[in-house]
Chains A and B, each alone.
Chain A
């Protein structure tokens, strides 16, 4: 057992759950059933199954101790660019835990699930209004799944129109990183566009890439540099002029609410990351939710089921539709997240959501303007909800890279920002504070970052050795990538 100090500082070496416990220690809540031999043939039985045998209390302690060794938005500032790690208001959890939602069976008939269906209907209508689309599907389970869904919709639309030649997807280098992979999964060819000196899509470069083979142009706006694509209407017009569709990646939608709507910019398809913009706990691979919105002419292609409301106010799940692309996710997708997102929308209201985006932009600029005194800003202009700084000059002068700055931030109690993305900025740090942080928190972060850069000049080794205060220091990233050991092997 770790000693008291080790437990309090999470500085112990926690063994795997398999190495804890003793045979017969597990709590038994149910009487033993018939032995497996009575209903399974011998060929389906294994000789032994080395499952851990722990008491409930030991299991709770094991995982609680592990949880103390990690970092979370509930523990400290988490400026992870493009990921929108904002505070998750507790009212969302209270709503998602209401028995009528939490205990609802996914096979419940529509007449016994009217409240849940209304949540889905109201959320879909709210997203439609906030982002200026004709309809949304709540089917997709997360962001990249939403991209895939939207591209299937685009493909079905072009096939219906008999336009089989459209096989190219255009992706600027300032788009979200998953876009090219999603396009490739649907079988499209990907053409990458280089951004111009202002970090925006160049109209001439775009026009040169457009043709009668263009299917979709996927953009993120504000883009991954945190900059608003100020020629967006010319861009969407140019793509529409050759018969292509415009796709909006919602990774950066936290800058938009009440400020601008993708539908008004000319986008035909979009996805949202409800787990980012609409304050749902995420990170570490937890469940997301990635609704897809479409323009009028694409509505028939939305996946099923969709929720409808008749003139008597009765809600129903509709499963059929001749042009629908099918179903992207079992049952009602990640329904509890729909409850959380609607709770967030209703608790904030329209004015509140507008203020969310305004404060997200203000907070990012508050950090940016101070950080430009000691970090290079490759695109030195007001940003939206996030900005990209570069440690290129620092690396040249001191040998300290963006990675080392990120590690040193861990020692000072902050989660690292996104580093080395977007790829077009060398040694970049992408910083997104979100709207929920106080001025004191932002000031503390800037002070830490400034002190790290000063230390890098005075004593670079101190930063190259970071982190020293965390439970785990520098890990061997090459070995982790080349020889991942993900399976615990029992000692028999």
Chain B
């Protein structure tokens, strides 16, 4: 299965969609499938300054609690409030309505060590 084009991917199975100086962050379809039914998502606060690769929250499924890492550094400008009432949105639409938060990317620290769709697909195929 091909991964959506136009996104960047981390080895921790997060995706990043960059639009200008802001970026939307979510977890990949592979990640939600591995986690199983998601029952709770803990997101960073709006205004929080995140460092790239930092542990900034958790996703809890019926199987386990997993750490969330941020694929890029920046300031949180919006979080997906719909996930509080319906965390299963991540299961149903990981690349769309199940997005997690948006950040204003630090111009000085553009994200590094991220993968394109083809490389991420290779990672998933061997996981």
Contact = CB atoms under 8 A, between A and B. Distances in A.
A405 to B, nearest CB: 14
Nearest to B39: A481
Contacts of B36: 403
Contacts of B46: none
A481 B62 contact: yes
Nearest to A478: B37
Interface string B24-56: 000000000010110110000000000000000
Contacts of B37: 477-478
Interface string A58-95: 00000000000000000000000000000000000000
Contact of A478 (B34, B66, B88, B127): B88
Is the interface on chain A under 10, 10 to 19, 20 to 34, or 35 or more residues?
Answer: 10 to 19
Contacts of B110: none
A421 B37 CA distance: 16
A18 interface: no
Contacts of B66: 423
Interface in A410-466: 419-421, 423, 426
Nearest to B88: A478
Contacts of B63: 403, 419-420
Nearest to A482: B39
B127 A423 contact: no
Given A426-B34, A426-B127, A478-B88, A420 B39 contact: no
B82 interface: no
B64 A421 contact: yes
A421 B127 CA distance: 17
A426 B36 CA distance: 12
B64 A420 contact: yes
Contacts of B34: 426
B80 to A, nearest CB: 17
Nearest to A427: B34
A477 B62 contact: yes
B91 to A, nearest CB: 9
Interface string A375-404: 000000000000000000000000000010
B65 to A, nearest CB: 9
B11 to A, nearest CB: 12
Interface string B55-93: 000001011101000000000000000000001100000
Nearest to B38: A478
B62 A423 contact: no
Nearest to B127: A426
A403 B35 CA distance: 12
A478 B64 contact: no
Contacts of B64: 420-421, 423
Contacts of B40: 481-482
Nearest to A420: B63
Contacts of A482: 39-40, 87
Contacts of A478: 37, 39, 62, 88
Nearest to A426: B34
A74 to B, nearest CB: 29
A315 B37 CA distance: 55
A374 B77 CA distance: 49
A332 to B, nearest CB: 35
Nearest to A177: B64
A477 B63 CA distance: 10
Contacts of A421: 64
Interface in A469-486: 477-478, 481-482
Nearest to A480: B62
A481 B36 CA distance: 13
A14 to B, nearest CB: 25
A420 B37 CA distance: 13
Contacts of B60: 481
B34 to A, nearest CB: 6
B15 to A, nearest CB: 19
A237 B62 CA distance: 39
Contacts of A420: 63-64
Nearest to B66: A423
A477 B34 CA distance: 16
A303 B62 CA distance: 37
Interface of A: 403, 419-421, 423, 426, 477-478, 481-482
- 6 closest cross-chain pairs (CB), A and B: A477-B62, A481-B39, A420-B63, A478-B37, A482-B39, A478-B39
17 contacts: A403-B36, A403-B63, A420-B63, A420-B64, A421-B64, A426-B34, A426-B127, A477-B37, A477-B62, A478-B37, A478-B39, A478-B62, A481-B39, A481-B40, A482-B39, A482-B40, A482-B87
Interface of B: 34, 36-37, 39-40, 60, 62-64, 66, 87-88, 127
Given A420-B64, A477-B62, A478-B62, 8 more contacts: A419-B63, A423-B66, A426-B34, A426-B127, A478-B37, A478-B88, A481-B60, A481-B62
